Structure 1
Amino acid sequence: MKNLVYIALLSLFVYSCGTTGNRNLPSGKDQSAANDTVRIANDSLEYEIIIIEPGFNLFINSYARPRGYHSLSYLENKNKYLVTEYNSRVQQPMRYDPNLYVNEINYDQSVDYGYEVNYLLYNYFVYISRHYNQNFSIPTRI
């Protein structure tokens, strides 16, 4: 009788340690890439911003200042300087990491992109400066 109990427990143990077989388990890599992609588009102005950065959505939802905290003019002024600095780093791959500064940002100061675009762009620069320890030369008073 004892042997029967041991065999049953051993069988249960072996069965529970089996492989997952053909189960469709979610892939963490695919989900995180999809969750960390932010796309903003406006066909009438013909612009599109795609931010693919691991952890950016978490930053926006948890650590960034809430929408409405900064005024639109504040965000536009900061973005003007930040985009200029970022684009200069893109053009200097020997000095700055070309894996971090990949593409130039075409930010036309005469175009009204609206609050959401300026908010996300500004917070993208805040995220880069914090996550990758990058120091952008931002004037304190604009």
Structure 2
Amino acid sequence: MNKIIFSILVLFIIFGCTPQNTITDNKENIGIKPQFNDDGEYDLVVFDSQYDYFLSAVARPMNTYTEDYLKSKNRFLVTEWNSLYYSGRNRNIIESSIDYDPTINYGIKYEYKLYQVFAYVRWKYGLRLNGLSAGDIR
């Protein structure tokens, strides 16, 4: 009888200590994705209280850019941003990737806000991105 109880106890210990095959990853890849606003246009929401101040007081006005200029700059800057994100550099500043498709017409407001995110990061944290010109911050 003791051998049966001992055998069952050993089996429970062996099966209890085996690693589980399923690994759950609770961390989702949270990225910046374009969303539609109430007007049916693409919109970008930045959850930083200083960003609105930056747009109104520091950033160059939207009418100083063309949509084509912003689209070409954003294409380059998003690639550089995502490269930094996936490499793990500047993790304290770059916390998410950016989902950006240059073939989609997002509109000038979205392109402007996205471009100003890069200018804002340079202004606030001093992170230099190669595609951002020095004259974009007043």
Q: TM-score range by the shorter chain?
A: 0.5 to 0.7
Question: Among the aligned pairs, what percent are the same residue?
Answer: 30
What RMSD over aligned residues (CA atoms) do the two structures have, in Å? 2.6
Deviation at 1:83, TM superposition (A): 0.4
TM (norm. structure 1) is 0.62
CA distance in 2, matches of 1:90, 1:43: 30
Larger relative contact order (CA 8 Å, sep ≥ 6)? 2
Structure 1 stretches of 5 or more lacking a match?
1-38
Distance (whole Å) between structure 2 residues aligned to residue 122 and residue 116 of structure 1:
10
Residue 55 (structure 1) aligned with residue 50 (structure 2) = yes
CA drift of 1:139 comes to 7.5
TM-score relative to the length of structure 2:
0.64
Residue 130 of structure 1 and its aligned partner are, at CA, apart by 1.6
Return 5+ residue gaps in structure 2 as ranges. Answer: 1-33, 134-138
**Are the counterparts in 2 of residues 90 and 103 from structure 1 also a CA contact under 8 Å?**
yes
Query: What is the CA–CA distance in structure 2 between the aligned matches of 1:139 and 1:67, rounded to whole Å?
Result: 16
Task: Name the SS of the counterpart of 2:122 in structure 1.
Answer: helix
How big is the shift at 1:53? 2.0
State the shift of 1:102 in Å.
1.1
**Is 1:89 equivalent to 2:84 in the alignment?**
yes
Alignment of 1:1-142 (within 5 A): 41-42=36-37, 49-93=44-88, 96-138=89-131
In structure 2, distance between residues paired with 1:97 and 1:86 = 10
Q: In the alignment, is the contact (CA less than 8 A) between 1:40 and 1:117 conserved in 2? A: no
